[in-house]
């Protein structure tokens, strides 16, 4: 004999239907692939980190995270594209100190506001930079490079990933502290900059350690020093530039941002996926290869970090006198 349908049962079933109808759309996010914009050319540090993270985040999200390189204007072209994207979590940015601290200080025409046009997701890693030369250049130490530059102010040039990038400012700070002249040659990312230094079209480069490390190990580049105050754990025999120029220190970082207005639940889902990715043993091992320090912050911590970085770089940019249209 069938059980009678009670009022309590009807109410319970109705509640289930109402809960399902009221469930936020973000519970189903993502329903299609997510595009991760890398605002630099392929082959550079941000590209290396971004592709490692994208693959693992895609596995966690259950949808492919597709890397799209949009290089140019020191990262501001790609960052501006994401700032104007639909705030639905399907277009996100691998931001850097360039896109979110330096460009706001350097660019006269600002294509976006680094604070108000983005929803912070997570600070992923902090990365050392490195000063390296083509092996045909007859120097093996930072001091020898300084001495060579002083012998002829027109002799040397250094490559960077672009005007206004942390690598550009690493070079300008080096020149100021060492009292030398070295011509800056900007590129649209570390990849093309490395290509010309490896081919000896340009003898010197300031690069991120992740993109340069393979060439350092193979002998394609001769590293002279890391830009962090301390030596990098992955290259313990490589001195810091500060050992020759006390007080010298620069570095970069990689962080995920979504367009402003992205629903908090979508930001939280991306943050969770990023934390899972950065805790994966394979990802940890890859990051350790080039001394990238894993952070995997909260959105709030990333927002505070951006504020701190803008405050830190403001006097450096002013002292260097760097500005771009």
Q: Got the DSSP string for 74-111?
A: GGHHHHHHHHTS-SSSSEEEEEEHIIIIIHHHHBSS-S
The pTM (predicted TM-score) of the whole model is 0.76
CA-based nearest residue to 33, from 56, 62, 60: 62
Among 243, 266, 301, which residue terminates a domain? Answer: 243
Q: Which CATH number does the domain housing residue 157 bear?
A: 3.40.190.10
pLDDT at 107: 87
Would 154 be classed as within a structural domain?
yes
Mean pLDDT, residues 124-146: 96
Whether residue 16 lies inside any domain: the answer is: no
Is residue 52 situated within a structural domain? yes
- Buried/exposed code over 120-148 (b: 16+ C-beta within 10 A; e: otherwise): bbbbbbbbbbbbbbbeebebeebeebbeb
Which of 243, 273, 291 terminates a domain? The answer is 243
Whole domain around residue 314: which residue ranges?
Answer: 30-126+252-320
Count the domains in the chain. Answer: 2
Predicted local confidence at residue 290, as pLDDT: 77
Q: Report the distance separating Cα 164 and Cα 158, nearest Å.
A: 14
| CATH code at position 69 | 3.40.190.150
Whether residues 208 and 224 share a domain: the answer is yes
For the segment 264-272, the average pLDDT, to the nearest whole number, is: 98
Question: What pLDDT score does 312 carry?
Answer: 83
**Pair of tokens at residue 302:** 């990333």
- Per-residue pLDDT for 8 more than 60? no
If asked whether residues 237 and 162 sit together in one domain, one would say yes
* CB of 250 closer than 8 Å to CB of 73: no
Query: 17 or 194: which carries more pLDDT confidence?
Result: 194
Per the structure block, which two tokens stand in for 37? 């914009």
The predicted structure's pLDDT at residue 27: 54
């Amino acid at each position: 004999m069938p059980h009678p349908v009670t009022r309590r049962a009807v109410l319970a079933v109705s509640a289930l239907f109402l809960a399902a109808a009221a469930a936020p759309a973000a519970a189903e996010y993502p329903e299609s692939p997510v595009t991760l914009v890398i605002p630099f050319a392929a082959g550079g540090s941000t590209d290396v980190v971004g592709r490692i993270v994208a693959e693992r985040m895609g596995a966690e999200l259950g949808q492919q995270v597709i890397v799209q390189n949009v290089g140019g204007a020191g990262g501001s072209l790609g960052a501006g594209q994401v700032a104007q994207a639909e705030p639905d979590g399907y277009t996100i940015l691998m931001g850097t100190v360039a896109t979110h601290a330096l460009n706001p200080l350097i660019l006269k025409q600002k294509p976006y506001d680094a604070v108000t046009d983005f929803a912070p997701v997570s600070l992923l890693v902090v990365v050392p930079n490195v000063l390296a030369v083509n092996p045909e250049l007859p120097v093996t130490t930072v001091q020898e490079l300084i001495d060579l530059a002083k012998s002829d102010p027109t002799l040397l040039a250094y490559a960077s990933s672009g005007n206004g990038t942390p690598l550009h400012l690493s070079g300008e700070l080096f020149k100021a502290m060492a009292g030398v002249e070295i011509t800056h040659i900007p590129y649209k990312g570390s990849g093309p900059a490395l290509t010309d230094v490896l081919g000896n079209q340009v003898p010197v480069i300031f690069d991120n350690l992740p993109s340069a490390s393979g060439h350092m190990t193979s002998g394609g580049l001769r590293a002279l020093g890391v830009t962090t105050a301390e030596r990098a754990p992955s290259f313990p025999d490589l001195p810091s530039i500060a050992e020759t120029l006390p007080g010298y220190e620069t570095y970069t970082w990689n962080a995920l941002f979504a367009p402003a207005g992205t629903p908090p639940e979508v930001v939280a889902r991306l943050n969770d996926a990023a934390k899972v990715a950065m805790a994966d043993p394979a990802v940890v091992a890859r990051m350790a290869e080039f001394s990238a320090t894993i952070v995997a912050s909260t959105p709030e911590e990333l927002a505070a970090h951006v504020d701190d970085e803008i405050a830190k770089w403001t006097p450096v940019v002013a002292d260097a006198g760097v500005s771009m249209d």
